[in-house]
Structure 1
Amino acid sequence: MQELYLKRQQQADYFEVFSDCETCYFRQRRALLFKVVNKKIASIEFKGPELIAPYARQCCSFTLRIYQQEVELYGLFFPAYTQLLFEYLEDLLENLYNQLRPKIIKLIVIETLAELCEVLSSEFLDLKKSLPFVSFNATIRQLIQDVQSRLIFRAQIFIIKDIVNFKPTPEDLDYPAKLTTGDRYDQWCKPLQKTLAFLATIYRCVDYVIFRGLASEAISACLSCLQNLSDLLAQKSELDACLFLLAHLLLLKEQLTPFDIGSTWQRESIAETEITDQEEPASYDLLQLFTRDGPLVPVPFSLPKEKVEQHFEVAYEAFLQFSVKYFTEFLRDSVEKNSLNKFSAEESLKSFRCPCLAELQAKNKLFCERLHLYLGEVKEEQELYAVVKKKVLDGYQIFCQNNLSNFDFSELYNSIPRILIYDKKIYD
């Protein structure tokens, strides 16, 4: 066959003889092998969608072994790889693809899709990079693209169903009682838990640009949920509402650190296979961009980390404003209630000072307890309390100057810093 192969390039007759030999070889191999291979793959038990990853591993491993044996066998007879070999190998792989794809497009659990994507990518894609394996790699790559397309679709549904349309139960709003039980993760609100678990699941499974698009949608939905939950908590306790929002935004900021979603967007082409589903949501933005030749993903979103940072800054300023109000508003109410300015005697201020300082002490204790419950990190709590204390002292000074100008309020004002101390007893 070596001589025949060399002579075929010089004389047409030899070319025809070589082609006939090759055609006959592949005809016999198809007759001997294809039914056996198809029967073997069909006999591999599919135990359900949740176990599709081990099923796909079995199917791909068996097919790869047969594929490699066919390449080696062909090399025993023919001196070089030809187009007929690649066509034969593609036909051999067709049954593998036809077995897996119908199961892929029915998967609905994101974790299952991510696991399958990981198995195909890490165990089979480009496992062998020599020329004869180009067809096998192409088939695995097509399966991965099918899984990714399905994953993107199910991700859109997840974001809408589990985050955008999240309806809190009384248990979800049971703060601060919820912070006294379970581990730290269980104390997070469900939208935050689901968002972070979702991002961790898909991070390595889809193209980078697609991940950032999905991350931006999920984070935007999570931010909206956090604000809604804070608004509901404010109906019961404004202190809890402010700390809930601040603590969850701080957690979101910290947990996004491992995800590389902070650089500039690029337009990028991504190959895609058409996959349809009756459950497709109306606002399926990413898949609507797909074309047969692959989509171009533009720059439709601001960066996810920037969004979180902006919301955190707003919540932080709102918390500081509330803290000043929390520690000073009762003083204004007491002045109005006791008609303090109607009296000129300093005794009236002294009698007024004691109950005010006692109430301030009680408010400070509650504030410290709540701060510890929501943040749970001593260093963060003390740093935040120091900022709050400065703001509150400034607020007291302005209040006293505006409302107690007829009195020597220095004793009252000087007593306040001794009360506004971060209470370490909450750690006992």
Structure 2
Amino acid sequence: MADQQKIKHLREKISTWDQRTTSMAPLSERQKDSYMDLTSHASNRPLPIELPLEEAGSFSQQLSLVSTPSLSHSGDSLAEGFSSLGMKDDKIENAQQFFDWFNKVESQMEQEEELCYRSYCDQLSQYKEQCDLVMEEVSTALDQLKDLKQQYVLVATKTNALHEACEQSMADQTMLVNKAEAISCKLDYFNELERINQKLSSPTFAVTNDSFVPLLSKLDECIAYIIGNPQYKESELFQARFKQCLSKALTLIKAAVFTILNGATQQVVPKDVTSTSENAFTLFYGKFRSNAPKIKALMEQVEQRLDKTSEYTTLLDDCLHCYFSKRYQLLMPSIQMAVSELATKHARDHCSLVRSGCAFMVHVCEDEYQLFFHFFSKSSEKLDAMLEQLCMSLYDVLRPLIIHINHLETLAELCSILKTEMLQDHVQANPNELGAFAAVANQMLEDVQERLVYRSSVYIKSDILNYNPASGDLAYPEKLEMMESIAESLREQRLNDSRRNSGDSIGSATSHEVAALNQSGSALMSGQTTPPEGMRSTVMAPIGSGAGTATIHVNASLSPADLHGMWYPTVRRTLVCLSKLYRCIDKSIFQGLSQEILQSCIHSLNVACQGITKRKTQLNGQLFLIKHLLILREQIAPFQVEFSIKETGLDFSTLKAAAYGMFQKPRGLFVLSSNNSFLEFLFEGAPQVTEHYVDSKKDVDHQLKCTCEVFIKHVTDLLASELIAFQKKAQVIVDLNEEESGASVSLRSQPFASPERVHEVVGASYKQIKTQLPKVFQSMSLYLANKDTEYILFRPIKAGVQLAYQQVEELVKNNYSEEDQQIIACPSKEQVNLFLAASP
């Protein structure tokens, strides 16, 4: 039924496929033309060979009927057309039959067309059936594999569980084995006690055995382990027992070291304690050192374990004490005897005694230091302590001698020996070995310096400050004139000798001159010394003030007196003392002493200046003072220190005001408040601490400046005193006229100011300059012996004289007529310069 309905439905659709109105597949005109062309072409095609020719026409007709595009033909024509297609018996009477027939034909055609596809489809169906069979087998295999997997998982789970159980058993076994080994290792430290104790208790066991050092190391290891694990049972007990074993071992070491040291001491101790021969010292170091390897091997083990326990430190200290006591026992008597022999040998030469004694102790310290390291590996403070005790034997002998030395030169040389030769040359080159000697040498140096400072203070007071000059010391200018005359005669003699014998060397003449000058100098002054070594010969000192300030240059080498040290004794002593102290004492102490020395020297020079002034003239005294102040300033310049010190004092100026204020308020003494006058006196009247600096070099400069100013004023007055006196008197009259303008007083009417009197003053001043100026030049040249210095010092004198003449000239021009000016005949500035042109 379903097939019929389907066919019916199909037919209905086919019947409507070419309707004119509602066509399901309408054709366009072009398509229709194409269909007609194809129809005509198909009608003209030849028939197939397979078809019978006699039925060609009928077949063509049938085909044309079948291929008619329209279904509007009658049923008869259709039947006729399709009867030729093998339906001769079945006649198509209606459309239904046609459709049935058409359906049948169409089905056949479809079957013929789909024959290949159907065969392929059948093949595919076969394949599908085979695949279904394969799938069934695969499903079966998968089911079997699933079962197998489940069984495998079950077996694997059981196997893993078995493996885990085995591994856990192995781990437990390993853990137990490790615990057993750990327990065994821990027990080894405890079990070692018995073995170590047996070895230490053995009478044949000695520290020299090869097994002693490993036993000592094992003992230290056991003690350290037990101390580090106090939680173990009976750890304190075992620790105490191990400590006992360690004490036994260290006691053996101590006994062995003491035995070796005692034996070595007994072997090398001299029979004669007073013997200090070379053989004795060879025994002390050579034979004693032969025992060093035995002790050093033990001491190295002890020194390596000092950080482990305090027992090793105690043992090392005991061994060191024994060593040093034995060395002290051996060396001290010999050293004391050697020092005593040196003291006896150099009883009159303290410098040689100090030098030889210190050299002896240096060798002892070096030898002892080297010997110590043959026995021990690490240095010890006790070594320096022992060496210092040995060196103190020299100090005990030298100190009583040092504190009784009075000569500054001896003390200065001792300072140089200790400071330069010993501390700088020897100690700095080997500070480790000579550390103990350096301490004693420094102590001796401080004693010598203290003695030097004390003797210098005494020397300053007695020989510089309180120096009482002899007549020869104040023989100025005779000493300088004699030296100049001797030098001149020697130069003439040298010139004559050179003319007679041109082959004679200048050096021999010069030596002869120096010898003669020295001989003459010693005849004039006893205790002559040459200038200190290294002192300069040129100095600059400011003189004058304001615009007139100048600088004096001194070249002491031009003067024969300076060349041969013909200086005032206190100056020579000051410079020698400074040169000695500069190299011997500290700068701070030197600065204080230099202040005292220079002040004392300046005081002595002032005293000498006064003596020379009384004996000769003020000009000689002032030039003497200027000359020696220049020398003093020149010679202290090379010292690389500041000649200044800080002095601290108390200022009591507020005490008087505070006391006066307290007595002004008598009632305030009993006031119980902050206004109490007694409390105000305590707070306000307390003296204040003041600090000020004293510079001795500036004191020398200041004294030199003041002396030069006094000298300049004195020489200016000496050359122009008449003019200066007249100018002062005349200026009083001029000032009086300016103040009293009503009543004028004529200057020329004054008796002292008449033209004739003024002319006499001018003439007297000219004569005074002519007579005194050469003497001034000669004295300056004699004392200063330097043209530049003389010129600088004379320049303000010249300016003062010129100023005096200029002031007189102005007074004359302002107060006298031209006729009076001609009578007075005051020289002009150019004329004054002309007769002052002879300045150096």
- SS of equivalent residue, structure 1 residue 203: helix
Corresponding residue for 2:617? 237
Contact in 2 for aligned 1:172/1:189 (Cα 8 Å) = yes
- Code of the aligned partner of 1:9: D
Corresponding residue for 1:259? 639
CA-CA distance at 1:265 after TM superposition: 4.7
Match status 1:98 vs 2:396 = yes
For residues 104 and 381 of structure 1, the distance between their equivalents in structure 2, rounded to whole angstroms, comes to 48
CA-CA distance at 1:244 after TM superposition: 1.6
Corresponding residue for 2:595? 216
Q: 1:83 to 1:334 in 2, by over 3 A?
A: closer
- SS of equivalent residue, structure 1 residue 91: helix
Give a deviation string over 1:45-82, Cα, whole Å, max 9, x none. 45678731221110000111011101100100111112
Contact in 2 for aligned 1:4/1:14 (Cα 8 Å) = yes
Q: TM-score, normalised by structure 1?
A: 0.82
Corresponding residue for 2:797? 388
Contact in 2 for aligned 1:324/1:391 (Cα 8 Å) = yes
Q: 1:47 to 1:237 in 2, by over 3 A?
A: farther
For residues 583 and 605 of structure 2, the distance between their equivalents in structure 1, rounded to whole angstroms, comes to 26
Q: 1:127 aligns with which of 411, 414, 428?
A: 428
Corresponding residue for 1:276? none
Contact in 2 for aligned 1:192/1:222 (Cα 8 Å) = yes
Match status 1:138 vs 2:436 = no
Corresponding residue for 1:274? none
For residues 783 and 588 of structure 2, the distance between their equivalents in structure 1, rounded to whole angstroms, comes to 34
For residues 399 and 411 of structure 1, the distance between their equivalents in structure 2, rounded to whole angstroms, comes to 8
Match status 1:378 vs 2:787 = yes
CA-CA distance at 1:41 after TM superposition: 1.3
For residues 3 and 104 of structure 1, the distance between their equivalents in structure 2, rounded to whole angstroms, comes to 47
Q: 1:87 to 1:262 in 2, by over 3 A?
A: closer
Corresponding residue for 1:30? 328
Q: 1:352 to 1:107 in 2, by over 3 A?
A: closer
Contact in 1 for aligned 2:415/2:448 (Cα 8 Å) = yes
Q: 1:207 to 1:10 in 2, by over 3 A?
A: same
For residues 804 and 755 of structure 2, the distance between their equivalents in structure 1, rounded to whole angstroms, comes to 24
CA-CA distance at 1:355 after TM superposition: 6.1
- SS of equivalent residue, structure 2 residue 379: coil
CA-CA distance at 1:333 after TM superposition: 8.2
Q: 1:13 to 1:342 in 2, by over 3 A?
A: closer
Match status 1:416 vs 2:832 = yes
For residues 189 and 403 of structure 1, the distance between their equivalents in structure 2, rounded to whole angstroms, comes to 48
For residues 361 and 4 of structure 1, the distance between their equivalents in structure 2, rounded to whole angstroms, comes to 100
Give a deviation string over 1:238-261, Cα, whole Å, max 9, x none. 111221222221221111111234
Q: 1:266 to 1:69 in 2, by over 3 A?
A: farther
Corresponding residue for 1:294? none
Give a deviation string over 1:159-214, Cα, whole Å, max 9, x none. 11011111122222211112122431543211211111111111111110110110
Q: 1:19 aligns with which of 298, 317, 327?
A: 317
For residues 301 and 160 of structure 1, the distance between their equivalents in structure 2, rounded to whole angstroms, comes to 22
CA-CA distance at 1:28 after TM superposition: 1.9
For residues 432 and 805 of structure 2, the distance between their equivalents in structure 1, rounded to whole angstroms, comes to 78
- SS of equivalent residue, structure 1 residue 80: coil
CA-CA distance at 1:14 after TM superposition: 3.5
CA-CA distance at 1:417 after TM superposition: 2.1
Q: 1:328 aligns with which of 720, 737, 752?
A: 720
Q: TM-score, normalised by structure 2?
A: 0.43
Contact in 2 for aligned 1:240/1:370 (Cα 8 Å) = yes
Contact in 1 for aligned 2:643/2:696 (Cα 8 Å) = no
- SS of equivalent residue, structure 1 residue 394: helix
- SS of equivalent residue, structure 2 residue 338: helix
Contact in 2 for aligned 1:209/1:266 (Cα 8 Å) = no
- SS of equivalent residue, structure 2 residue 698: helix
Corresponding residue for 1:114? 412
Q: How does 1:20-59 map to 2 (within 5 A)?
A: 20-45=318-343, 51-59=349-357
- SS of equivalent residue, structure 2 residue 349: helix
For residues 576 and 699 of structure 2, the distance between their equivalents in structure 1, rounded to whole angstroms, comes to 19
For residues 159 and 263 of structure 1, the distance between their equivalents in structure 2, rounded to whole angstroms, comes to 17
Q: 1:228 to 1:257 in 2, by over 3 A?
A: same
Q: 1:37 to 1:8 in 2, by over 3 A?
A: same
CA-CA distance at 1:264 after TM superposition: 6.1
For residues 310 and 756 of structure 2, the distance between their equivalents in structure 1, rounded to whole angstroms, comes to 122
For residues 196 and 263 of structure 1, the distance between their equivalents in structure 2, rounded to whole angstroms, comes to 14
CA-CA distance at 1:15 after TM superposition: 3.5
- Code of the aligned partner of 1:396: Y
Match status 1:311 vs 2:703 = yes
399-408 or 73-82, which moves further after superposition? 399-408
For residues 353 and 19 of structure 1, the distance between their equivalents in structure 2, rounded to whole angstroms, comes to 101
- Code of the aligned partner of 1:70: E
Corresponding residue for 1:282? none
Q: 1:259 to 1:410 in 2, by over 3 A?
A: farther
- Code of the aligned partner of 1:326: L
- SS of equivalent residue, structure 1 residue 187: coil
Larger RCO, structures 1/2 (Cα 8 Å, 6+ apart): 1
362-371 or 301-310, which moves further after superposition? 301-310
**Unmatched 5+ residue regions in structure 2?**
1-298, 484-520, 522-560, 648-689, 730-750
Contact in 2 for aligned 1:328/1:392 (Cα 8 Å) = yes
Q: 2:771 aligns with which of 356, 362, 367?
A: 362
Corresponding residue for 2:159? none
CA-CA distance at 1:356 after TM superposition: 4.7
Larger Rg: 2
Q: How does 1:147-186 map to 2 (within 5 A)?
A: 147-180=448-481, 181=483, 182=521, 183-184=561-562, 185-186=564-565
Q: 1:253 to 1:83 in 2, by over 3 A?
A: closer
Contact in 1 for aligned 2:343/2:353 (Cα 8 Å) = yes
Q: 1:79 to 1:323 in 2, by over 3 A?
A: same
- SS of equivalent residue, structure 2 residue 339: helix
For residues 266 and 341 of structure 1, the distance between their equivalents in structure 2, rounded to whole angstroms, comes to 57
Corresponding residue for 1:292? none
- Code of the aligned partner of 2:827: L
- Code of the aligned partner of 1:372: S
For residues 384 and 237 of structure 1, the distance between their equivalents in structure 2, rounded to whole angstroms, comes to 18
Q: 1:311 to 1:356 in 2, by over 3 A?
A: closer
- SS of equivalent residue, structure 2 residue 583: coil
Q: 1:300 to 1:80 in 2, by over 3 A?
A: farther
For residues 825 and 305 of structure 2, the distance between their equivalents in structure 1, rounded to whole angstroms, comes to 110
For residues 241 and 326 of structure 1, the distance between their equivalents in structure 2, rounded to whole angstroms, comes to 15
Contact in 2 for aligned 1:242/1:319 (Cα 8 Å) = yes
- SS of equivalent residue, structure 1 residue 215: helix
Q: 1:61 to 1:417 in 2, by over 3 A?
A: same
For residues 762 and 317 of structure 2, the distance between their equivalents in structure 1, rounded to whole angstroms, comes to 106
For residues 42 and 141 of structure 1, the distance between their equivalents in structure 2, rounded to whole angstroms, comes to 21
CA-CA distance at 1:352 after TM superposition: 7.3
For residues 796 and 630 of structure 2, the distance between their equivalents in structure 1, rounded to whole angstroms, comes to 16
Q: 1:207 aligns with which of 586, 593, 605?
A: 586
Corresponding residue for 2:270? none
- Code of the aligned partner of 1:322: H
Contact in 2 for aligned 1:46/1:55 (Cα 8 Å) = no
Q: 1:333 to 1:47 in 2, by over 3 A?
A: farther
